[in-house]
Each structure stands twice: as C-alpha cells, then as structure tokens.
Amino acid sequence: MVSKALVINKKDNVATATKDLEAGEELELEVGGEKVKVVLTGPVETGHKFAVREIKKGNPVTKYGETIGTATRDIAPGEHVHIHNVESKRGRGDRVKGAEA
C-alpha cells in the first residue's frame, strides 16, 4: 500500500499528507521505526500537516527533526497543524517596540 502521509524524522511530532485525507481516516504511520496509529480529526489536504502526538501550547512543533514553530494552543493527535495553531518566532519585527513602521 502506498503511504498517504510521511513522517520525515523520528523526532517529528507532525506528519505531512501526500494525498488528500478525510476526517475520521485512520492512518498507520512509521515514526522512527515504530508504528503509530492516528485518527484524523478533520480533513487534511495534500502537503498539509497533522499532529502524530499531542503538542501542548507553547511547545515546539518539529519537522525534519528541527523546530518549525511553536504551538499557540494544545494540538491533539490527528489535528490539522498549520498557521491557525502554529507560530513562527523568526523575522517578527511586528513585536519590536520603537521600530520605524
């Protein structure tokens, strides 16, 4: 069977869909040699991510074994992970007091 989602690094707490996925779909994923079962809480489009583990608010979201941002709220396994619940920490001039703009 062709996999429908990929986990790139064993440290990752997200998977990336390689097919359009529907709510309620159950996926068996390989995370660092271990099989992990995830049930999607909503639809996930090709190329979008979902959590493979619970990610608590304020904790790092990890892909490629590296931090790609911080969870802005608790994220349950199987939940779509994107700009609505993850925030980048880089290039945030909007947070600097006394900036020019």
Partner 1 sequence: MEFWGYRRPDGRVGIRNQLLVLSSVVCANRTAEAIAEAVPGAIAIQHQHGCAQLGADRDLTAKTLIGLGKNPNVGAVIVVSLGCETVPAQEVADGIAETGKPVVPLAIQEEGGTIATISRGIQEGRKMAEQIARLRREPFGIEHLILATECGGSDTTSGMAANPAVGAASDLVVEQGGTVILSETPEFMGAEHILAQRGKDEVTGQKVVEIVNRFERELLRMGVDIRGTQPAPGNIAGGLTTIEEKSLGCIYKGGTTEIREVLGYAEAPTEKGLVIMDTPGHDVESVTGMVAGGAQVVVFTTGRGSPTGNAIAPVIKVTANPKTYKKMEDNIDIFAGKILDGEETPGDVGQRIFQMVLDVASGAKPKAEILGHREIAFYRIGPTA
Residues whose CB is less than 8 angstroms from the CB of residue 77 and which lie 6 or more positions away in sequence, other chains included: 38, 39, 51, 52, 53, 54
In whole angstroms, how close is the CB of 8 to partner 1 at the nearest point? Answer: 7
In whole angstroms, how close is the CB of 21 to partner 1 at the nearest point? Answer: 12
In whole angstroms, how close is the CB of 23 to partner 1 at the nearest point? Answer: 17
What is the distance between the alpha carbons of residues 4 and 19, in angstroms, rounded to a whole number?
5
Please identify, using beta-carbon distances, which residue of 36 and 68 lies nearer to partner 1.
68
Please identify, using beta-carbon distances, which residue of 26 and 101 lies nearer to partner 1.
101
Place of tokens 């079962």: 37
- Binding residues for partner 1, per CB under 8 A? 2-3, 6, 8, 16-18, 45-49, 61, 63-64, 66-69, 81-83, 86-96, 99-101
Please identify, using beta-carbon distances, which residue of 23 and 46 lies nearer to partner 1.
46
User: Do the Cβ atoms of 49 and 19 come closer than 8 Å?
Assistant: no
Residue 75 gets which letter from DSSP? B
